[in-house]
Amino acid sequence: LTAYNSLLAALVKNSMDVKALTVYESMKQTKLVPSMYTYTLVIRATSKCQGWESAYRLFNEMLSKEIHKPNVFVYNALISAYGRAKKWNRALQIWDKMKQVGCKESMGTCCLLISTFVGCRQFEPALEVFFLVIQRGWRPTDSMYKGLICVSAHEGRWMLALEFFHEMVASGARPSLLACNSLINSIGKAGQWNLAFQVYNWMRANGLCPDAYTCNAVLNAFMNAGEYDQGVQFFLNMKESGLHLDREVYNVALVAYQKLKDWKGALGLLKEMDTRGVQPDVMSYGIAITACEAGGQTSLALMVYEHMKNVRCTPNTYVVAALIRICKRQSLWHIARKIFEESCRAGIEPNIYVYNALIDVFYKSKQVTLAKNLMKQMHIRGCKPD
RNA sequence: UUGCGUCACACUUUAAUCC
């Protein structure tokens, strides 16, 4: 038995799981009775190459022999299999079973359970395990703290996440980049841009290097709170720092400019995207055009439209509606109509925003007949007026 | 002999209409 167990252990340790299983099969041919250690090893091996079901089968097979009562290692091996398979429900069941049969959880059990629940975003069970750890008088591991910060943040419980964060720091550990990111994100979603920014500053002061997630989370906090000025500022700082920013981040920054009615800033950024090799998409152009609209820059908006055509970027309803609205100020109904027709020819199905914009332009330009006709057309195409 | 050595897993993001 010792020889078999040693061999199995060596194989499992080196991820030779299939080999381990064949060794186990050959062991079954003998009269040897597998020990708990054997089962632990084989459950581990089989769960890795044949999934959690096989681990469960083996576990039951072991129970049916009624030779031994499973020890905590066997339970842990099974929980580990469930965790890797994201079967948090099963992990919860087996944990219940442990309690029923009076098998006491080890620190390892708790680590596994928390890891499983966090991975499946199960806030309540993760918290329950954490309390058990405290209750036993154990010191939670760093990973437990990290996991709880993440799962609490994900649940929208940012105050709790912040508490875990503080506890972790107080215990002398450093929260991970990921934990900080989810914390910032959660705080930002709750509209607490100031607090989110404080966590960001803490990160930098403590040697954690912000990544794209951090950038998004902080930027999002500002945007959410309507702090567009600070959003722009932050974006510029991140750009300055040399962090690679993708198109979506650029688009968020464009929105900040748009909200500030800063058409110069928006157009500048759009141009910069081109030169930096970040391809603007329809949305980038749409936001820039809307910024021009907000700033009353009709001809610039139309120039952006021309540019789009040059680079073969097909507009969408956002773009078309914004362009049409821009024509209102100077009653440029013929241009608005041209844009509308072009978009229809390009196969862009007008929506209520587009129709409303064009009707508005016609109305402002005293083209009541055109407006009426458009309403009829709208009706025929199955778009309901609001 | 089980868990966070490693790997894996868990975190983030965008626009629009009249008055």
- Interatomic CA–C1' length for residue A246 and nucleotide B10, angstroms: 23
User: Where does the pLDDT of residue A187 fall: very low under 50, low under 70, confident under 90, or very high at 90 and above?
Assistant: very high
User: Where does the pLDDT of residue A111 fall: very low under 50, low under 70, confident under 90, or very high at 90 and above?
Assistant: very high
- Return d(Cα A145, Cα A245) in angstroms, integer: 30
Give the pLDDT confidence score for residue A66 in this predicted structure. 67
**Can you tell me the mean pLDDT for A280-296?**
96
Give the pLDDT confidence score for residue A64 in this predicted structure. 86
- Interatomic CA–C1' length for residue A92 and nucleotide B3, angstroms: 17
- Asked if the model's pLDDT at residue A172 lies above 90, the reply is no
- Interatomic CA–C1' length for residue A196 and nucleotide B11, angstroms: 14
Distance between first and last Cα of chain A: 79
Q: Which residue is nearest to nucleotide B12 (CA to C1')?
A: A213
Contact present, A358 and A372 (Cβ < 8 Å): no
Mean pLDDT of chain A: 93
Classify the C-alpha dihedral A215-A220-A225-A229 as positive or negative: positive
Task: Give which of A115, A140, A134 is closest to A125, Cα–Cα.
Answer: A115
Nucleotide nearest to A79 (CA to C1'): B2
**Can you tell me the mean pLDDT for A33-59?**
90
Most confident of A32-41, A141-150, A300-309: A300-309
- Interatomic CA–C1' length for residue A327 and nucleotide B10, angstroms: 49
Please report the beta strands in chain A, taking only residues with DSSP state E, as ranges in sequence order: none
**Can you tell me the mean pLDDT for A262-268?**
96
User: Where does the pLDDT of residue A32 fall: very low under 50, low under 70, confident under 90, or very high at 90 and above?
Assistant: confident
- Interatomic CA–C1' length for residue A199 and nucleotide B9, angstroms: 24
- Return d(Cα A199, Cα A174) in angstroms, integer: 13
Nucleotide nearest to A153 (CA to C1'): B11
**Can you tell me the mean pLDDT for A12-25?**
88
DSSP character at residue A278? -
Angstrom distances, CA of residue A19 to CA of A11, A12, A16, A157, A239: 7, 9, 6, 46, 52
Share of chain A above pLDDT 70, in %: 99
- Interatomic CA–C1' length for residue A40 and nucleotide B16, angstroms: 60
User: Where does the pLDDT of residue A321 fall: very low under 50, low under 70, confident under 90, or very high at 90 and above?
Assistant: very high
Nucleotide nearest to A113 (CA to C1'): B3
Task: Give which of A347, A353, A286 is closest to A319, Cα–Cα.
Answer: A286
- Asked if the model's pLDDT at residue A288 lies above 70, the reply is yes
- A10: Cβ contacts below 8 Å, ≥ 6 apart: none
Backbone angles phi, psi at A4, to 5 degrees: -60, -45
The CA R_g of chain A, rounded to the nearest whole Å, is 31
- Does the pTM surpass 0.80? The reply is yes
Nucleotide nearest to A5 (CA to C1'): B1
User: Where does the pLDDT of residue A252 fall: very low under 50, low under 70, confident under 90, or very high at 90 and above?
Assistant: very high
| A64-74 CB burial, b ≥16 within 10 A, e <16 | eeeeeebbbbb
- Interatomic CA–C1' length for residue A346 and nucleotide B18, angstroms: 26
**Can you tell me the mean pLDDT for A193-206?**
95
CA A252 to chain centre: 16
- Interatomic CA–C1' length for residue A79 and nucleotide B10, angstroms: 17
| A264-274 CB burial, b ≥16 within 10 A, e <16 | ebbbebbeebe
User: Where does the pLDDT of residue A76 fall: very low under 50, low under 70, confident under 90, or very high at 90 and above?
Assistant: very high
Q: Which residue is nearest to nucleotide B2 (CA to C1')?
A: A73
As a 3-state breakdown, chain A gives helix, strand, coil percent values, each rounded to 5, of: 75, 0, 25
Nucleotide nearest to A118 (CA to C1'): B10
Give alpha helix (H) positions in A66-211.
Answer: 72-84, 88-101, 107-119, 123-135, 142-154, 158-170, 177-189, 193-205
- Nucleotides of strand B under 7 angstroms from a protein beta carbon: 1-4, 8-18
- Return d(Cα A56, Cα A46) in angstroms, integer: 10
Q: Which residue is nearest to nucleotide B13 (CA to C1')?
A: A216
- To 5 degrees, how large is the angle CA A151–CA A48–CA A12? 115
